[in-house]
A = this chain, B = another copy of it.
């Protein structure tokens, strides 16, 4: 492989000149720059990432800590994690990182020590952590890091770290306000399985808080149906909510993987949307679009949140901006799966 010295020799300039042409950190005459660029092109030169990292103390890598739902060969199962949703964030993160000159390192160890491995080994310039829990053991480790860290999620105590996330609490309030305005007084959330709450996943808690507080304010009865995604589990979880005279007249579904099953169960029960029951989905737009019926939804702009996380990380690396928490406000798109209740 060609080295920077090869380029320098070929262009007839000093090594440092090549470096400066490449980094733009020095004014270089047009003539010299042209010679260097020609040599670079002719040799197909690409700087050695490791050498650059060693000399400059910068890797141009962003570490992305993403727990996976099932990690083969490990005891750590995380059925509380939805890959499909995670990927929506990644789809926002990776391209933005690239655009800003960073590569993305995927770290799937669900383990505070992985954090240390990454920053202490100068493996990445900054860390973005996903699937944050209200009390997340990784946060303390990240707050120690020499490296900026951004959390996607909102823990009880961010330990001074920056956070970005969707404002699930306001989303919950918004959903209830919308339904209450239509006259609904018995509302249920179809939510992730109880393990998600046991893990104290940040998004789930905030959603419930928004829903229940606003329900109280609106004088509406509110209940939660946590469930796995499988069709039979959903049917079972929905039974208490949909049976009896006090059955819910509206559902807020905050469980993207369960959406197909929910719609199927409703259909089987001959409940038409929105005449017989109102439904609001809370999920990334691309997931809402894949459903069997058009759904009124509160879009979780996962991609743009991911991109924002990258921007915050890069800003921190530039020494710009203090630690902050950014919550993206919720908006509701009415797609006719909500209306006034029958009774």
Contact = CB atoms under 8 A, between A and B. Distances in A.
A174 to B, nearest CB: 25
Contact of A50 (B54, B94, B104): B54
A50 B122 contact: yes
A121 B48 CA distance: 5
A146 B257 CA distance: 42
A231 interface: yes
A50 to B, nearest CB: 3
Interface in A263-299: 263-264, 267, 289-294
Interface in A217-232: 229-231
A46 B119 CA distance: 9
Please classify how large the interface on chain A is, using the bins under 10, 10 to 19, 20 to 34, 35 or more: 35 or more
Nearest to A99: B73
Interface string A105-134: 111110000001100111100000000000
A68 B91 contact: yes
Given A83-B84, A103-B123, A46 B117 contact: yes
A62 to B, nearest CB: 10
A170 B122 CA distance: 46
A215 to B, nearest CB: 29
Contact of A261 (B90, B92, B109, B290): B290
Given A54-B54, A231-B293, A105 B108 contact: no
Contact of A106 (B86, B105, B292): B105
Contact of A68 (B64, B69, B95, B267): B95
Given A49-B53, A70-B91, A98-B109, 19 more contacts: A1-B146, A44-B120, A46-B116, A46-B121, A49-B59, A49-B121, A50-B53, A50-B59, A50-B122, A53-B53, A61-B105, A68-B94, A72-B303, A72-B307, A83-B88, A103-B106, A231-B291, A260-B263, A264-B292
